[in-house]
Amino acid sequence: MEAGEWTTQLRRGVLEFCILQILHQQPSYGYEIVTRLESLGPLAAGENTVYPILRRLKADRVVESFLQDSPSGPPRQYYRLSSEGRKKLSVLSKEWDAVVQAVGQCVGKGADR
């Protein structure tokens, strides 16, 4: 597996978590989420990736959607965390912290390379 493939697999595993984090900060519409992820380099994900995740999260009742007027064009569908989404984000945050800590120990100063 090449480095690019490894990054792609890693990114797939964390995109949902990152989308939930973005929505925790404030309600957002799909393209705004895509743009935010693009600004984060390796987490860049197109609409063909983000919108299916949003649809699944909505079907799972992790996010809710609502329409809001747009200053330019038709109303936009915004997404926000539901109460279930806040619970899920809390669980994922704890799991993420544990993974980051373990990887840090593995690649840290004391690890053999």
SS3 for 27-81, per residue?
Answer: CEEHHHHHHHHHCCHHHCCCHHHHHHHHHHHHHCCCEEEEEECCCCCCCEEEEEE
Write down the pLDDT at residue 13: 81
pLDDT of res. 95: 94
pLDDT of residue 109: 60
Domains defined for the chain, CATH in brackets: 3-107 (1.10.10.10)
Distant-in-sequence, close-in-space partners of 46: CB < 8 Å, separation ≥ 6: 34
Instruction: Give the integer Cα–Cα distance in Å for 106 and 60.
Output: 35
Query: What are the backbone dihedrals phi and psi of residue 11, each rounded to the nearest 5 degrees, phi first?
Result: -60, -45
pLDDT at 84: 97
The structure's pTM equals 0.86
What does pLDDT average to in each consecutive run of 10 residues of the chain (113 residues)? 76 91 97 95 90 96 96 94 97 94 84 51
